[in-house]
Amino acid sequence: MKAYQIHDFSAAPQVRSLPDPVPAAGELKIRIHACGLNFADLLMMQGRYQDTPAPPFTLGLECAGEVVGCGEGTSTPLGTRVVIYAGQGGLADYGCFPEESCIPLAQGTSYLEAAGLLIAHGTSHLALDRKAGLRSGETLAVIGAAGGVGLTAVEIGARLGAKVIAVARGAEKCAVARAAGAAITLDSESADLKARLKELGGVDVVYDAVGGALGEAAFRALKPGGRFLLIGFAGGTPPELPLNHALVKNISILGLYWGGMRQIDPEMFRSSVEAVMQDHAKGLLTPHISHVFDLAQIEEAFEMLRSRRSTGKLVIRMAPSTSA
């Protein structure tokens, strides 16, 4: 089989030929049909991600496919279509994953859609619905609103009844965020973000996937009792938050490492993923897939992710048929 592997952090990853894996006890063997790309994959290439495995390992945090083999002690039938978060192994023809990490797909959800939904929508659902407790009528500011997770925060925030202010770079990305449900868009390249957010009445919740100066500016526009969600630092650096403001204004700073919630609260984690998949099956959530690539185009796909030229998710098609 083919797999996109890291063998040494000093060298670029490569597509390699490997023996087909055999599932151990408690594992399912999956014929992988699609794999979503994430900013974390870029960090893993450099050994900088918080959960980077020791080389050699196969990249790809989230994937979807079909059960084609079962290890001892498992009960999932062969042929079951599943979506998987395992932290690695998705950019391959086959993979063996713990059965508890494999969540059955609803009928009508394609492999491509599932691979584009899992981390992005899962992150925003867990952050906004469970962590921040976003309520109808509140104001949500989304920093990096046209990115893979940012668009899902716009969509889920609007579905929860919040007034969503989307902050994105350039008119084209602002238009994408508006189409996803943003009530107001602000161009991060031209707006004095703190001043503009305050002019709009301030915000109750900030969803920051970028960090740096933008995150700090949004933090300073929070209302008393506001919540600041630390989602990621796609801009390169964490925001320098004035903690005296957090104290005086009773602001809650909430970090969310989505993958880590599997260990902290596995029941909440799984129920959130299931809720996302059910909402998609009901037509309430839409995967924002910007581009679909084949494995032969993996370098082009990662370069698009690295340069932040995409709006939404990038998905790699691992198998010819991804519509079922």
CATH at 7: 3.90.180.10
For residue 147, name the pLDDT band (cuts at 50, 70, 90). Answer: confident
Q: What pLDDT is stored for residue 70 in this prediction? A: 98
Q: Are residues 88 and 150 in the same domain?
A: no
Instruction: State the Cα–Cα distance between residues 34 and 90, nearest whole angstrom.
Output: 8
Q: How far apart are CA 36 and CA 104, in angstroms?
A: 17
Please give the C-alpha separations between residue 46 and each of 7, 29, 58, 152, 232, in angstroms, as whole numbers. Answer: 11, 28, 14, 27, 17
Domain count, the chain: 2
Last residue of a domain, one of 228, 256, 284: 256
Residue 153 lies in domain: 135-256
pLDDT at 81: 97
303: left (phi over 0), alpha (psi -120 to 50) or beta: alpha
- Evaluate whether residue 43 is within a structural domain: yes
For residue 130, being part of any structural domain is answered with no
Q: Do residue 174 and residue 250 come from a single domain?
A: yes
Scanning the structure block, which residue is given the tokens 């238009």? Answer: 175
Domain-located, residue 313: yes
Q: Is residue 123 part of a domain?
A: no
Give yes or no: residues 298 and 249 share one domain: no
pLDDT value at 214 more than 90 = yes
pLDDT for 39 equals: 86
CB 13 within 8 A of CB 59: yes
Give the per-residue pLDDT at 324.
Answer: 47
Q: 282: which residues sit within 8 A by CB, 6+ positions away? A: none
pLDDT of amino acid 219: 98
CATH of the domain at 230: 3.40.50.720
Whether 134 shows a pLDDT value over 90: the answer reads: yes
Does pLDDT of 323 surpass 60?
no
Q: pLDDT-derived band of residue 322, with 50, 70 and 90 as boundaries?
A: very low
Does 140 lie in the same domain as 58?
no
Does 247 lie in the same domain as 143?
A: yes
* Mean pLDDT of all residues in 226-231: 97
Q: Which residue has the tokens 């984690």?
A: 269
Distances (CA, A) of 297 to 287, 290, 303: 21, 15, 10
Q: Is residue 205 part of a domain?
A: yes
* Residue where a domain terminates, one of 256, 281, 308: 256
Do the beta carbons of residue 293 and residue 316 sit within 8 Å?
A: yes
Label residue 235 by pLDDT band (50, 70, 90): confident
The first and second tokens of residue 129, run together, are 């619905």
Instruction: Choose one of 256, 287, 303: the last residue of a domain.
Output: 256
Tell me: pLDDT of 319 over 90.
no
Residues 6 or more apart whose Cβ sits within 8 Å of residue 89: 57, 58, 60, 63, 95, 96, 97
Whether the per-residue pLDDT at 196 is higher than 80: the answer is: yes
For residues 249 and 296, state if they share a domain. Answer: no
Q: State the Cα–Cα distance between residues 208 and 7, nearest whole angstrom.
A: 33
Q: What's the pLDDT tens digit per position in 272-281?
A: 998 999 999 8
Is residue 323 included in any domain, yes or no? no
Same domain, 231 and 271: no
User: Same domain, yes or no, for 144 and 244?
Assistant: yes
Examine the domain organization and report whether 203 and 99 are in the same domain.
no
Tell me: do 241 and 269 sit in the same domain. Answer: no
Q: Read off the pLDDT of each residue in 8-17 and give the average, rounded to a whole number.
A: 94
* Residue 320 clears pLDDT 70, i.e. is over it: no
Q: Are residues 140 and 228 in the same domain?
A: yes
- How does pLDDT run across 47-62, given as a tens digit for each residue? 988 889 999 999 999 9
Residue 91's nearest CA partner among 324, 303, 310, 301 is 301
Residues in CB range of 179: below 8 A, 6 or more apart:
none
- The neighbouring-strand residues paired with 315 are 36, 292
Residue 83 in any domain: the answer is yes
User: What's the chain's length in residues?
Assistant: 324
Within-domain flag for 125: no
Same domain, 21 and 112: yes
